A = this chain, B = another copy of it.
Amino acid sequence: MSDGIRMYTNFIASIDTRLRNPKWVIEHLTRSKLKGDGTRSSSQFTEDAGVGARFRAKLSDYRGTGYDRGHMAPASNHKESQGSMDETFSLSNIAPQVGGGFNRDYWARFERFVQDTTKSFDDVWVVTGPLYIPRPGPSGWVLEHPMLGQPPQMVAVPTHFFKVVLAEQGDASTAVAAFVMPNSAIPAEYPLSAFSVPLTSLEEVSGLTFFPSLLDDARRMGLDAAALRWQALGRADAQRARLAPGASPPALLPPPPSLPGNAVVKSAVGAAVTAVFQGSNPAHLCDKLQCRLPAEDFWKGPGGGASRDRKLQRSQSAKF
């Protein structure tokens, strides 16, 4: 009864054999790991032979759908070697994403924002994954999303995507944040902090538990309060600018009152990460850094390096 864990050189993916997407992908980023010669132009998307043939996502599932093959662990985080970059093109690291306005734009800038946290922190752990979030319908809550491919072997189109970032600077400083974005075009000016969500809500809608060895109930709920504060600020900014995100804000309510931590069954991500928080409580990432996305043309500038052709190549994701 395997949990469907796939180990790669620089990331780990857990596979959902029903929805044929990753459940989550975890990476460890450092400044030095981000350097290297790997380029997207040498990589090709590949089916994962490590997942049963009847249960893996197939290249043909995406063909002609209009959806991009969206990376969970971004290719640009894994330039260390061409082999490492190639691994990120395994469909076990991929889920269907809207291209224009999302994968090729807002989400790409979000990935760069996360990468840039390594400028301030020595070690950054990132968990990325798809979400399937219910919406209110005329007669109650409904979960609804497209399915790609041919039944009964289908790939789900997620309604949203999440990233959880845990950043450490030695033992002195640790920061955490969780973001949830709709799988749709998002206006370029929309404030990143508006997508900050309480980790508690993300855990409950995903069924996952993030960094449980580090984040006990008290710490998690302290971070939740900061997350809601940043979310409110971001949404207020957006409202003043009369911006609407591509879809309704994520249907995530504020965290519930503290509950006893007697969980026996939970699906824990990053449980092995235990070596921090000896002394102080973690801060919310937006209290440590400016939670602002890089410029829309960040990939043009110096330092863009091998990813100069990034947007073009991302747009090719759907044409194959």
Determine whether the beta carbon of B55 is less than 8 Å from that of A207: yes
CA distance A182 to B295 in the complex (A): 50
Q: Which of A24-79 contact B (CB under 8 A)?
A: 49-55
Determine whether the beta carbon of B151 is less than 8 Å from that of A141: yes
Nearest Cβ distance between residue A253 and chain B, in whole angstroms? Answer: 6
Q: Does A84 contact B (CB under 8 A)?
A: no
Q: Does A265 contact B (CB under 8 A)?
A: yes
Determine whether the beta carbon of B147 is less than 8 Å from that of A145: no
CA distance A168 to B103 in the complex (A): 52
Q: Does A317 contact B (CB under 8 A)?
A: no
Determine whether the beta carbon of A4 is less than 8 Å from that of B265: yes
Determine whether the beta carbon of B54 is less than 8 Å from that of A256: yes
Q: Which of A1-33 contact B (CB under 8 A)?
A: 1-6, 14-20
What are the residues of chain B within 8 A of A244 when measuring CB–CB?
none
**Size bin of chain A's contact surface:** 35 or more
What are the residues of chain B within 8 A of A140 when measuring CB–CB?
146-148
Beyond contacts A55-B207, A142-B146: 10 other A-B pairs, Cβ-Cβ < 8 A, are A1-B267, A1-B269, A2-B266, A53-B259, A54-B204, A134-B151, A140-B148, A141-B154, A151-B252, A152-B253
Name 27 interchain pairs, CB-CB below 8 A, sorted by A: A1-B3, A1-B269, A1-B271, A2-B265, A2-B266, A4-B266, A16-B207, A18-B205, A49-B262, A50-B264, A52-B262, A52-B263, A53-B262, A55-B204, A55-B265, A134-B147, A140-B146, A141-B147, A143-B144, A143-B145, A143-B147, A143-B156, A144-B144, A150-B253, A151-B251, A152-B202, A152-B252
Closest 8 CB pairs of A and B: A52-B263, A18-B207, A17-B207, A152-B205, A144-B144, A152-B204, A141-B147, A134-B147
